[in-house]
Amino acid sequence: MGFWELFLIAVGLSMDAFAVALCKGLEMQKLNYRRAWLIAIFFGGFQGLMPLAGWLLGKQFETYITNIDHWVAFILLAIIGGKMVAESFKKPNEGEECADNFSIKELFVLAIATSIDALAVGITFAFLQVKILPSVTLIAVTTLVLSFIGVLIGQKFGSKFKNKAELAGGIILIGIGLKILLEHLGIIG
């Protein structure tokens, strides 16, 4: 898997964190850079740790899955991407509202919630023989940067980008999963 594929996966995985960061920025009357960086560090850190945990888990089952690894990768990425696409069409009152408080405990819960998808991606990384340390570093840094930008945009413009971010992230993950499947089936080079 090349750099650009990994980067697109990182961007796709970052979209949940970006959407929540938009909400956190929306709460701020005045931009608080310390909070913005703290949000970005929490989201980026967990987004990097979860695929590492998934990779470690996937390595345990690698010998049993090698013949169907491309199908597993496609299915997991399609499910994650499909979920994100579906969530992007929810109206604000159907989905999560932006919370109106700020605490380390809340950030911890939000960071885990927005990075669960990365655990499944980490499992696919184990099957696809992806170099894990550069991959999780790229995912963590991408999420950190996009989360910080999300707080800034949320503070300035509000939550109108939340659904668009989730839709884009879902489409990216589905597209990468489809590419992995088509490559392994020999349909594309």
Any domain includes 68: yes
Share of the chain above pLDDT 70, in %: 89
For helices 3-27 and 104-127, the axis angle rounded to 10 degrees is 170
For residue 2, give the 3-state DSSP assignment: coil
Which structural domain range is residue 53 located in? 3-184
Q: How far apart are CA 153 and CA 158, in angstroms?
A: 7
Q: How far apart are CA 44 and CA 141, in angstroms?
A: 6
Look up the CATH number of the domain holding residue 10.
1.20.1250
Give, in degrees to the nearest 5, the angle at Cα 173 between 167 and 179: 135
- In tens, the pLDDT along 137-167 reads 999 999 999 999 999 988 887 556 667 777 8
For residue 137, CA distances in Å to 13, 52, 157, 160, 163 come to 13, 10, 29, 29, 26
Any domain includes 56: yes
- In tens, the pLDDT along 48-104 reads 999 999 999 988 887 777 677 778 778 877 887 788 788 888 875 544 555 445 678
Any domain includes 52: yes
Length of the chain measured in residues = 189
Any domain includes 67: yes
Any domain includes 189: no
Count of domains for the chain: 1
